Amino acid sequence: MTAREKEPEEGPKKVGILAVQGDVEEHVQILRDLGVEPVEVRAVEDLSGLSGLIVPGGESTAIGNIMVESGLLDGVRSFFYKGGPVWGTCAGMVLAASATNGPRQPMLGLMNALVTRNGFGRQVHSFEQDLEVEGFDEPFTGVFIRSPFFEDVGPGVEVLSTIGEKIVAARGENILVTAFHPELTDDKRFHEYFLREVCDI
* Per-10-residue mean pLDDT, the chain, length 201: 50 94 92 97 97 95 95 98 97 96 91 92 79 97 95 96 97 97 96 97 90
Element of type H or E holding 138 = none
Question: What span, in angstroms and rounded, lies between the C-alpha atoms of 38 and 127?
Answer: 28
Positions annotated as catalytic residues are 90, 181, 183
Element of type H or E holding 91 = helix 91-96
- Residue at 190 is within a domain: yes
Rg from Cα positions in the chain? 17
- Residue at 6 is within a domain: no
104 exposed, middle or buried (CB, 10 Å; 0-12, 13-18, 19+)? Answer: exposed
Domain that holds residue 25: 14-198
Structural domains of the chain, count? 1
- Residue at 112 is within a domain: yes
pLDDT computed for residue 56 by the predictor: 95
pLDDT computed for residue 99 by the predictor: 95
pLDDT computed for residue 169 by the predictor: 98
- Residue at 72 is within a domain: yes
- Residue at 43 is within a domain: yes
Question: What span, in angstroms and rounded, lies between the C-alpha atoms of 136 and 138?
Answer: 6
pLDDT computed for residue 125 by the predictor: 65
Are residues 84 and 194 in contact, defined by beta-carbon separation less than 8 angstroms?
no
- Residue at 101 is within a domain: yes
Q: Is the pTM of this model over 0.75?
A: yes
- Residue at 5 is within a domain: no
- Residue at 8 is within a domain: no
pLDDT computed for residue 5 by the predictor: 52
Residue 31 has phi, psi (to 5 degrees) of -60, -40
Strand 111-116 to 149-153 pairing: antiparallel
CATH number at residue 154: 3.40.50.880
